[in-house]
Protein backbone atom coordinates (compact mmCIF):
# COMPACT_ATOMS: atom_id res chain seq x y z
CA UNK A 1 0.00 0.00 0.00
CA UNK A 2 1.28 3.43 -0.91
CA UNK A 3 -0.29 6.87 -0.68
CA UNK A 4 0.69 9.43 -3.33
CA UNK A 5 -0.12 13.03 -2.41
CA UNK A 6 -0.21 16.27 -4.36
CA UNK A 7 -1.60 19.25 -2.49
CA UNK A 8 -5.03 18.30 -1.18
CA UNK A 9 -5.45 15.43 -3.68
CA UNK A 10 -4.20 11.88 -3.19
CA UNK A 11 -4.08 8.48 -4.84
CA UNK A 12 -3.94 5.30 -2.77
CA UNK A 13 -2.49 2.25 -4.51
CA UNK A 14 -3.10 -1.17 -2.94
CA UNK A 15 -2.26 -4.59 -4.34
CA UNK A 16 -1.82 -8.13 -3.12
CA UNK A 17 1.83 -8.37 -2.03
CA UNK A 18 2.76 -11.24 -4.35
CA UNK A 19 1.93 -9.06 -7.37
CA UNK A 20 4.67 -6.48 -6.67
CA UNK A 21 7.44 -6.87 -9.23
CA UNK A 22 5.27 -8.66 -11.79
CA UNK A 23 3.82 -7.58 -15.11
CA UNK A 24 0.20 -8.31 -15.95
CA UNK A 25 -0.64 -8.91 -19.60
CA UNK A 26 -4.07 -8.90 -21.20
CA UNK A 27 -4.04 -9.41 -24.96
CA UNK A 28 -7.81 -8.99 -25.19
CA UNK A 29 -7.64 -5.52 -23.65
CA UNK A 30 -4.27 -4.81 -25.26
CA UNK A 31 -2.71 -3.75 -21.98
CA UNK A 32 0.40 -4.51 -20.00
CA UNK A 33 0.61 -3.34 -16.37
CA UNK A 34 3.89 -3.28 -14.45
CA UNK A 35 3.12 -3.72 -10.76
CA UNK A 36 5.95 -1.70 -9.25
CA UNK A 37 6.83 -1.01 -5.64
CA UNK A 38 7.29 2.64 -6.67
CA UNK A 39 3.53 2.87 -7.22
CA UNK A 40 2.04 0.13 -5.01
CA UNK A 41 4.58 0.14 -2.19
CA UNK A 42 5.22 -3.11 -0.39
CA UNK A 43 4.71 -5.00 2.81
CA UNK A 44 1.68 -6.32 4.63
CA UNK A 45 -0.84 -4.04 6.35
CA UNK A 46 -3.61 -4.68 8.84
CA UNK A 47 -7.00 -4.87 7.09
CA UNK A 48 -8.48 -2.15 9.32
CA UNK A 49 -5.69 0.25 8.32
CA UNK A 50 -6.21 -0.52 4.63
CA UNK A 51 -9.99 -0.03 4.87
CA UNK A 52 -9.56 3.32 6.65
CA UNK A 53 -7.02 4.45 4.05
CA UNK A 54 -9.41 3.52 1.23
CA UNK A 55 -12.29 5.39 2.88
CA UNK A 56 -10.24 8.58 3.27
CA UNK A 57 -8.55 8.71 -0.15
CA UNK A 58 -9.65 10.71 -3.20
CA UNK A 59 -8.66 8.08 -5.73
CA UNK A 60 -7.97 4.41 -5.05
CA UNK A 61 -6.34 1.83 -7.31
CA UNK A 62 -6.89 -1.80 -6.18
CA UNK A 63 -5.20 -4.79 -7.76
CA UNK A 64 -5.46 -8.44 -6.72
CA UNK A 65 -7.98 -11.00 -5.57
CA UNK A 66 -7.63 -10.50 -1.81
CA UNK A 67 -7.82 -6.69 -1.80
CA UNK A 68 -10.79 -6.73 -4.17
CA UNK A 69 -12.59 -9.32 -2.02
CA UNK A 70 -11.98 -7.17 1.06
CA UNK A 71 -13.22 -3.99 -0.66
CA UNK A 72 -16.36 -5.77 -1.90
CA UNK A 73 -17.02 -7.29 1.54
CA UNK A 74 -16.71 -3.84 3.14
CA UNK A 75 -19.11 -2.32 0.59
CA UNK A 76 -16.45 -0.07 -0.92
CA UNK A 77 -16.57 -1.65 -4.38
CA UNK A 78 -19.49 -3.29 -6.18
CA UNK A 79 -18.70 -6.53 -8.03
CA UNK A 80 -20.15 -5.03 -11.22
CA UNK A 81 -17.31 -2.48 -11.19
CA UNK A 82 -14.50 -5.03 -10.94
CA UNK A 83 -12.59 -5.85 -14.10
CA UNK A 84 -9.84 -8.32 -14.88
CA UNK A 85 -6.45 -7.66 -16.35
CA UNK A 86 -5.40 -11.10 -17.46
CA UNK A 87 -6.24 -13.27 -14.44
CA UNK A 88 -5.96 -10.41 -11.95
CA UNK A 89 -8.88 -8.46 -10.47
CA UNK A 90 -8.75 -4.67 -10.64
CA UNK A 91 -10.96 -1.79 -9.47
CA UNK A 92 -10.69 1.95 -9.03
CA UNK A 93 -12.59 4.24 -6.70
CA UNK A 94 -12.94 7.98 -7.38
CA UNK A 95 -14.21 10.66 -5.06
CA UNK A 96 -15.53 13.71 -6.84
CA UNK A 97 -15.98 15.79 -3.72
pLDDT of 96 > 90? The answer is: no
Task: Let me know how long the chain is.
Answer: 97
Confidence (pLDDT) at 4: 97
Four-way CATH pick for 2-94: 3.30.1860.10, 3.40.50.720, 3.40.630.40, 1.10.1060.10: 3.30.1860.10
Helix axes 65-73, 47-55, angle to 10 degrees: 70
User: Rounded to two decimals, what is the model's pTM?
Assistant: 0.93
Within 10 angstroms of residue 40's Cβ, the number of other Cβ atoms is 21
Task: Render pLDDT for 75-85 as a digit per residue (tens, 0 to 9).
Answer: 999 999 999 99
Task: Read off the pLDDT band of 95 (50, 70, 90).
Answer: confident
For the chain, domain boundaries: 2-94
Confidence (pLDDT) at 42: 87
Confidence (pLDDT) at 97: 67
Residues linked to residue 66 through DSSP beta bridges, in sequence order: none
Query: Strand ranges (DSSP E) for the chain?
Result: 2-6, 9-15, 23-26, 31-34, 59-63, 83-85, 88-94
Task: Render pLDDT for 20-68 as a digit per residue (tens, 0 to 9).
Answer: 999 999 999 999 999 999 999 988 899 999 999 999 999 999 999 999 9
Amino acid sequence: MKLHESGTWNVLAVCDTELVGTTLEDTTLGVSVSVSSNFYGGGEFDQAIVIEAIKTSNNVNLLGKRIIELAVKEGLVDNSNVMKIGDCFHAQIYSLE
